[in-house]
Structure 1
Amino acid sequence: MSKEKIALFTIFGGTGDLAQRKLYPSLFKLYQKGYLQDHFAVIGTARRPWTDEHYHEIITDSLASLDADAEKVKAFASHFYYQSHDVTDAQHYVTLKRLSETLDAQYGLQGNRIFYLAMAPNFFGTIAQHLKSENILTNNGFNRVIIEKPFGHDFESAKVLNDELTATFDENQVYRIDHYLGKEMIQNISAIRFGNNIWEFLWNNRYISNVQITLSEKLGVEERAVYYDNSGALRDMVQNHILQILSLLTMDQPVEFTENDINIEKVKALRSLRPYTPAEVADNFVRGQYAADGDIKDYRSEDKISPDSNTDTFVAGKVMIDNFRWSGVPFYVRTGKRLADKFTRIDVVFKRPIVNIFNHDNNASDSTNELAPNVLTINVEPTEGFELRMNAKCVGQGFATTPIQLDYDHDSEATANSPEAYERLLHDALNGDATNFTHWQEVAYSWKFVDVIQKYWDEHTPDFPNYRPGTMGPAASDELLKRDGNEWVYKE
């Protein structure tokens, strides 16, 4: 049975950075592996008046780092067509429809259409409306739309956007991409939990003390300054990536490992997020903004950033899940720019033994022998693998204990040959599998949780800047855990 997928991709924003850095290389890798062969075509649209020939040069340039065979690249690029397009002009969709139908017949695409909206969200509704009104959607194949974040600026704007999209597409045709859900080790969370009885048996408030999720970035805002200053770390990272990871960590076991059943359990987990009052926001969430340090500018001095900006470049918070499995277990989250290093990790901290029979070493005069907590660490990036910290006897006389660490990392060859996030997710979209995409109810509950925090911050002026580049954020982030008798597993 052939693994070839058949579809016409229409990329709105085909000249943009996302298309060139992620989409074209990912489609090429699917082409190299035989998932895309003869029966596919791509229409790139944007305002720029490019020719097909120039577009092919852009495609070729975007693949330069892959060191691919030149003839293979040329054959791949020949499937790409460019149309100068104003997404607000209905007449341009007439031309788009004509080209789509021509390519459908030329490549035998069976009416299968994937529309990728790699543009600002304020155009999503307009594009969807015209796709419907100009009859570009087909009746004899599938129609799917892939959209990038941000999906709204708060719950109300997200709902308006969703209503606009679902006026044209059914919910099962909408693929809201969150590239973290395409990462190898994020997808491994379900395998760890539900494929190993040792963990699933312990995966609850009887045995787990706390869980820590850290998404750390070493760089500043770079070329995303305009977007970032209107968003901040809370909206940019917590509302989507972090709460998606949290839902995978906390959901109950699905009846089957299917899109529908997993979505049901993720939504239940996000519905269980404890909503905070304004006073509780102040106690449970910390925000920060980086200062200057040597050659590094402070955030407010970055290009295109307002000199009096109160945008958060760091967030740390304590999240509680009010259900039977997780009641009483704090989930600590943090993310930020200009931190100590670039990495993503999850630390599951288990409770210490109720009774410590090794609390005194008879070979020492007055020593106590406190047991360290067991910690399961899931390293998402840049290293992919697991660490398990457990207690063992020290070598030598006496019975003092010491923490030891068991490690497993994916080998470099397997990691190098593993598909990247966008490649995985584009392949899933071709298969009609939205398991690793975000569904509307997940988006809605995430925004409702985040909106309370953002509203409180909007009404209170922070004392910024409050952390130095190269650290793990403001001191208040450490204090947040200390109040509960805990500490971050990862320290700078």
Structure 2
Amino acid sequence: MNTSTPHTAPAAPLDLVIFGGVGDLSARKLLPALYMAHLHNNLPAATRIHAVGRQPWDRAAFVTFVQEKVRGFIAEKAFADATWTSFLERLHYVCADVTLAEDFHALAAALQSNSDRMYYLATAPNLFVSICAHLRGAGLVDERSRVVLEKPLGHDLASARQINDSVGQHFQEKQIFRIDHYLGKETVQNLMVLRFGNTIFEPLWRSPYIKSVQITVAESVGVESRAGFYDSTGAMRDMMQNHLLQLLCIVAMEPPVSLDPDAVRDEKLKVLRSLRPMTIADVAKDTVRGQYSAGASDGEAAVGYLQEADIPADSNTETFVALQAHINNWRWANVPIFLRTGKRMAARQSEIVIQFADLPFTIFSDSAHQSVNRLMIRLQPEEHIQLQMMAKEPGSGMKLRPVNLNLDLEAAFSERRAEAYERLLIDVIKGRLTHFMRRDELEAAWSWVEPIINGWQQLNEKPKAYTAGSWGPAASSALVAREACSWIEES
């Protein structure tokens, strides 16, 4: 009888290629995430990381860039000299113009033979098509290859379909990873477990037991170095079409039959297709566009959007969007959904708030706090989940006070919690598609968003001004007040 341990074949060599490898996303997020994956032995042993850029550098110049620009985005407690040195040994650089087919010969020469290939397209979306075509032309795409597409994927529905069609000529759908880093956050993934791994919430996760849902993704920063990109994009395309709608899908989806990627994404798709389309009258009534003016942010003076470098003085680009949405199905009938995102807001805060319905009748005279039964899922700056409930204050009488039940994931688990990009990059390496968007999801999101953008153009109204360091235009508070609700920080 053979009692020996079964032989496990070593992982194939991996070539991880970052197009836009010396850009802001690579320096701030991707390379630090890959360092953390390297630190915790989550990269195959024979992994090489290739940065592709137009700078006429050699490998030594690129390593110097990484030392100067990337090192600062790694937490001090995670930094180790020996690990950093071994990580740098994985790095390579290829000088190439991605619009020129002949420049891909240098990339082909740099890759290992018989390796798995993972291509991360951290470039402008208008380069995706040529990069994929040139990869195929250089013989660098096979059934083991994977491609990661950064958002925003397209500028509208037509351009998104064109990109999907073109990329789909060279990669199968199972090889395409449309990334949204919000889906890699620990708390977002825990929301699925909270909903589908426990019995206490599911009976109440529906109308009429939920009064409203609000999702906020607020940033305290302005446009920073992204002025050219941002002014042609705006908050709706940059944040609402992807991040916020994906969060809404996790909140509102029906239980999938399994954790199979397509089973999960089928249910998310149903949510997007159930969103009530907005008419021009709905756009005028149920959406608020804003643009920040001069004020103060994080304790310092902040210029208005129109005074930012490289922003046209007459720009009508929105830096803030708030809207009320409705999902046309039995679970969410008559439940208002409020979505809000903006730059130069009072705080960096991303949060999902499930506001449960008021009691039909109260026996307590102190009824001022009846609307406090809410589930709050905080995504940033810190991640936590709180359930607010009513309790009696100590002492005589029956005076009520809201208290929080906290799900402290950090205290409950001793394991390190990986950052979103690290987690998703490992998912790509392992071929796990669950937390990435499928083509039909992306196009369904554009199908709902595009009439809103077109409606704004038709209405031809300037964005409403809001002071930098505030929570947005007053009209956004009026939007939720119509439904006897308020944004959570205004409660």
1:355-366 equivalences under 5 Å are 355-358=361-364, 360=365
Pairwise CA distance, 1:370? 6.3
Tell me which of 52, 59, 74 is aligned to 1:52: 59
The DSSP-based 3-state class of the residue aligned with 1:222 is coil
Pairwise CA distance, 1:277? 0.5
Deviation readout 1:437-489 (Å, 9 max, x if unpaired): 11111111111111111111122333445211221111111111111122222
Match of 1:158 in 2: 160
Evaluate the alpha carbon distance shift between residue 6 and residue 424 of structure 1 in structure 2; reply closer, same or farther with a 3 A threshold.
Answer: farther
Pairwise CA distance, 1:390? 1.2
Indicate if the aligned counterparts of 1:6 and 1:36 stay in contact, CA closer than 8 A. Answer: no
Q: TM-score, normalised by structure 1?
A: 0.92
Match of 1:349 in 2: 355
Residue 23 (structure 2) pairs with residue 21 (structure 1): no
The DSSP-based 3-state class of the residue aligned with 2:49 is strand
Match of 1:376 in 2: 375
Match of 2:71 in 1: 63
The residue type equivalent to 2:24 in the other structure is: D
Residue 129 (structure 2) pairs with residue 125 (structure 1): yes
Residue 332 (structure 2) pairs with residue 315 (structure 1): no
The DSSP-based 3-state class of the residue aligned with 1:417 is coil
Tell me which of 110, 113, 117 is aligned to 1:113: 117
Pairwise CA distance, 1:83? 1.6
1:34-433 equivalences under 5 Å are 34-61=41-68, 62-64=70-72, 65-67=74-76, 68-100=79-111, 103-104=112-113, 110-138=114-142, 142-293=144-295, 295-358=301-364, 360=365, 371-411=370-410, 417-433=416-432
Cα distance in 1 between the residues matched to 2:407 and 2:250: 21
Aligned length: 476
Evaluate the alpha carbon distance shift between residue 412 and residue 373 of structure 1 in structure 2; reply closer, same or farther with a 3 A threshold.
Answer: closer
Pairwise CA distance, 1:171? 0.9
Structure 1: gaps spanning 5 or more residues:
105-109, 361-366
Indicate if the aligned counterparts of 1:372 and 1:403 stay in contact, CA closer than 8 A. Answer: no
Evaluate the alpha carbon distance shift between residue 98 and residue 204 of structure 1 in structure 2; reply closer, same or farther with a 3 A threshold.
Answer: same
Structure 2: gaps spanning 5 or more residues:
1-7
Evaluate the alpha carbon distance shift between residue 370 and residue 133 of structure 1 in structure 2; reply closer, same or farther with a 3 A threshold.
Answer: closer
Indicate if the aligned counterparts of 1:210 and 1:349 stay in contact, CA closer than 8 A. Answer: yes
The DSSP-based 3-state class of the residue aligned with 1:92 is helix
Cα distance in 2 between the residues matched to 1:42 and 1:394: 58
Indicate if the aligned counterparts of 1:254 and 1:261 stay in contact, CA closer than 8 A. Answer: yes
Cα distance in 2 between the residues matched to 1:284 and 1:415: 44
Cα distance in 2 between the residues matched to 1:184 and 1:370: 31
Cα distance in 2 between the residues matched to 1:489 and 1:34: 41
Evaluate the alpha carbon distance shift between residue 451 and residue 228 of structure 1 in structure 2; reply closer, same or farther with a 3 A threshold.
Answer: same
Match of 2:18 in 1: 11
Name whichever of 413-422 and 83-92 sits farther off. Answer: 413-422
CA RMSD of aligned residues (A): 2.1
Cα distance in 2 between the residues matched to 1:414 and 1:5: 32
Cα distance in 1 between the residues matched to 2:353 and 2:235: 21
The DSSP-based 3-state class of the residue aligned with 1:83 is strand
Pairwise CA distance, 1:284? 0.7
Cα distance in 2 between the residues matched to 1:443 and 1:226: 24
Cα distance in 2 between the residues matched to 1:368 and 1:14: 57
Evaluate the alpha carbon distance shift between residue 368 and residue 325 of structure 1 in structure 2; reply closer, same or farther with a 3 A threshold.
Answer: closer
The DSSP-based 3-state class of the residue aligned with 1:344 is strand
Cα distance in 2 between the residues matched to 1:55 and 1:371: 59
Cα distance in 1 between the residues matched to 2:48 and 2:369: 63
**Identical columns (%):** 38
Cα distance in 2 between the residues matched to 1:132 and 1:2: 28
Indicate if the aligned counterparts of 1:5 and 1:35 stay in contact, CA closer than 8 A. Answer: no
Deviation readout 1:74-127 (Å, 9 max, x if unpaired): 222222222211112222222322322xx23xxxxx431101111111111001
Name whichever of 461-470 and 14-23 sits farther off. Answer: 461-470
Cα distance in 2 between the residues matched to 1:412 and 1:203: 27
Evaluate the alpha carbon distance shift between residue 369 and residue 168 of structure 1 in structure 2; reply closer, same or farther with a 3 A threshold.
Answer: closer
The DSSP-based 3-state class of the residue aligned with 2:370 is coil
Match of 2:4 in 1: none
Cα distance in 2 between the residues matched to 1:317 and 1:369: 27
The residue type equivalent to 1:284 in the other structure is: D
Cα distance in 2 between the residues matched to 1:436 and 1:127: 24
Cα distance in 2 between the residues matched to 1:319 and 1:2: 51
The DSSP-based 3-state class of the residue aligned with 2:465 is coil
Name whichever of 286-295 and 57-66 sits farther off. Answer: 57-66
Residue 458 (structure 2) pairs with residue 452 (structure 1): no
Cα distance in 2 between the residues matched to 1:370 and 1:32: 48
Deviation readout 1:277-334 (Å, 9 max, x if unpaired): 0011111111111111263211111111111111111111111000111111111111
Match of 1:107 in 2: none
The residue type equivalent to 1:229 in the other structure is: D
Cα distance in 2 between the residues matched to 1:29 and 1:130: 31
Cα distance in 2 between the residues matched to 1:35 and 1:151: 28
Cα distance in 2 between the residues matched to 1:424 and 1:287: 33
Evaluate the alpha carbon distance shift between residue 175 and residue 210 of structure 1 in structure 2; reply closer, same or farther with a 3 A threshold.
Answer: same
Name whichever of 90-99 and 415-424 sits farther off. Answer: 415-424
Indicate if the aligned counterparts of 2:13 and 2:115 stay in contact, CA closer than 8 A. Answer: no
The residue type equivalent to 1:328 in the other structure is: N
Cα distance in 2 between the residues matched to 1:30 and 1:240: 26
Evaluate the alpha carbon distance shift between residue 3 and residue 352 of structure 1 in structure 2; reply closer, same or farther with a 3 A threshold.
Answer: farther
Cα distance in 1 between the residues matched to 2:51 and 2:452: 39
